[in-house]
Amino acid sequence: MSSGNDRTAREIQGKFRVYFHETIELINSRCPQQKNAFDCGLYLIVFAEEFCRFFDENADKQSNEKEFFDEFINEIQRTITSNYVTQRRKDFKSLLESMSIEKKQNI
């Protein structure tokens, strides 16, 4: 984690403590990153989607938190590529366009 991200992560860690009433461990890990200055939000959305999918598919498996996290990191390193994010951008664009058309038809 860079020093800027580290401070923000620690602030979020403190806020989670209010809800979970326990210490949330911060783990530095390598993960796919954008190669431009404008896809960071898209990567965040894709990570959130993938985490929810991974959690839903693997929540029943017996593993400790570290193993679960390691499996998730391995999964996103395999899954989240530049091409995948580019395709998701197209998917989001299509979704927003179709929602806009539908909204205009309902007016």
Cα distance between residue 61 and residue 74, in whole Å: 16
Residue 3 pLDDT = 57
Name every residue whose Cβ is closer than 8 Å to that of residue 17 and which is 6 or more positions away in sequence.
23, 24
Residue 89 pLDDT = 94
Tens of pLDDT, residue by residue, the chain (107 residues):
455 688 888 888 888 888 877 777 777 788 888 898 989 899 999 999 999 999 999 888 877 878 888 899 999 999 999 999 999 999 999 999 999 998 889 87
The verdict on pTM exceeding 0.85 is: no
Question: DSSP string spanning 33-64?
Answer: --SSSS-HHHHHHHHHHHHHHHHHHHTTS---
Residue 94 pLDDT = 96
Cα distance between residue 17 and residue 52, in whole Å: 21
Residue 55 phi/psi, 5-degree rounding, is -60, -45
Cα distance between residue 33 and residue 13, in whole Å: 22
Q: Residue 90 in 3-state DSSP?
A: helix
Task: Scan for tokens 């990570």, then name that residue.
Answer: 47
